[in-house]
Structure formats: structure tokens, C-alpha cells
Amino acid sequence: MKKIIFTLTVMVLALAIQKNSIVVEAAEITDFDPVYYAANNPDVVATFGNDPQILMAHYINCGKAEGRYKNLNEELTGIIVEPEVIEPEAVETPSLIGTVFDNLPYPTYVDVDINNQTVSYFENNVLVMQSPCVTGKTSAHRGTPRGTYSIKAHIPGKTLRGPTWKVWVDYWMRFTDSNIGLHDATWRTAEEFGGDTYINHGSHGCVNLPHEFAAQLFNKVNIGTKVVVR
């Protein structure tokens, strides 16, 4: 896509977001790319249209907080870094939906169990849903980084880019600053999820999910929901 250097100064008194328009407080962005923003955020265009000034206003007041990017260069600076993987001892993951668990790290959170290749969603200490997944390719030192995070981007429809790939996902839930997140992976067959797929055929670091489960999880979580990768 041809990059357009777009300069706009929006000077208005108050902030208001309505059904088909956005009004913003005074702000200035000298490198906002409306063509890029529209192409990568179809949900925004569907709601507000593709007027460059409105798109910039959306980025200022909503998009930046949601983890959206103002131009391609800003997105590419967040390319996934291949982290070194330190394997902990295997831990059993609960498998009974509806079971109440005590002493969880948080009452409501997403659990990514790398050893067992499962993603579980707990709500008020109850296991609500669980699915096999595919995490980062450990044989290439691209394992999903372990730790406790929070969802930073919650976007319906997103193009993911990297040095050698460009894919579309319907449900994007980024949880690290290095652009790693949970998302659907329709290019995988049902048999690929779970097991030892991740060792030699895993992702570039993200957590791949079956499409239906990703849709259900997307509707459960939001910005700030804890994600524990272990």
C-alpha cells in the first residue's frame, strides 16, 4: 500500500462519539495514514465511514487505547521478537467445565497452558470454557513468552504482519507489547490444535485458536482481562 503522509489539525471544544460521527478535542498528528487505518480497521469504517478526519479522530480517542496503529511503520515496530524459552515443570490443567476452583491467580482470567496446549477461560473462579491451542514454535526459539499479562488490544478483524507472513484474523486479542496475542487460525485443521504441534509447527509466538472458540473467547474478554501464560 502506498503510504500517504497525512497532516491534519482538529480543533474542537469537546469530545463526543456518536453513531456516525466523532468530534475530538484539539490534537495534531503529522504521520497518520487514513488509507492504512481504513484498510486495517474495517469495523471502524463500517461504523464511521472512511473520511480521513473522522478516522484520525477515532485513532486519537479510541484506536490508540485499543492497540490500533496509525500507520504501517508504527505497526512494524511491534514485530514479534522471538523469545528464548525456559521450560518449567509440567502442571496439570483443570478439564471440567463448570468446576469451581480456589486459589486461582485471578478470579477471571485466560489461562494459556503451554505444556498441555490448552487455553482456558475462568470467570469468578469457575472454568467456563477450554480449548486445545497451538503456541509458539519452540524448536525455532519462538515459544510464547510465559508470564502474566493483560489484554491490550481487542479488535474484530485484523491483518497480522511479520518479516515473512501476512494473515487476516477475525479475532485479535493482543496481550504483550511485542505484538503477541490470542487469535483464530483458520489455516490450521482441527487435528493440528493441541498435542505437540507447537514444537515443530507452532506459531511465531501467538496463541492460535480454533475459529469458533476464538469467537466465544473474544466475546468474554476485553481490554484489561488478565492472561496467564505458563
Same domain? For 120 and 223 the reply is yes
The CATH number that applies at residue 207 is 2.40.440.10
In 6-124 the beta strands, taken as DSSP E runs, fall at: 6-10, 16-17, 22-23, 27-32, 109-113, 118-123
194 assigned to some structural domain: yes
Q: Which helix (H) or strand (E) holds 228?
A: strand 226-229
From CA 105, how far away is CA 207, in angstroms rounded?
Answer: 20
User: What pLDDT sits at residue 46?
Assistant: 85
pLDDT of residue 27: 52
Q: Name the residue range of residue 45's domain.
A: 6-76
Domain boundary residue, one of 57, 76, 95: 76
91 is a domain residue: no
Q: How far from the centroid of its chain's Cα atoms is residue 183's Cα?
A: 6
153 belongs to a structural domain: yes
The total domain count for the chain is 2
Q: What DSSP line would sit under 128-192, residue for residue?
A: EEEEE-B-B-GGGT-PPPPEEEE--EEESSEEEE-SS-EEEES-EEE-STTS-EEEE-TTS-GGG
Q: Could you tell me if 224 and 172 lie in one domain? A: yes
Strand, coil or helix: 36: helix
Block mean pLDDT (10 aa), the chain, length 230:
36 36 54 89 88 89 81 70 41 63 91 97 96 97 96 95 88 95 97 97 97 98 97
Same structural domain for residues 30 and 118? no
Contact 223, 141 (CB under 8 A): no
pLDDT at 81: 40
Do 125 and 205 lie in one domain? The reply is yes
**Is 97 inside a domain boundary?**
no
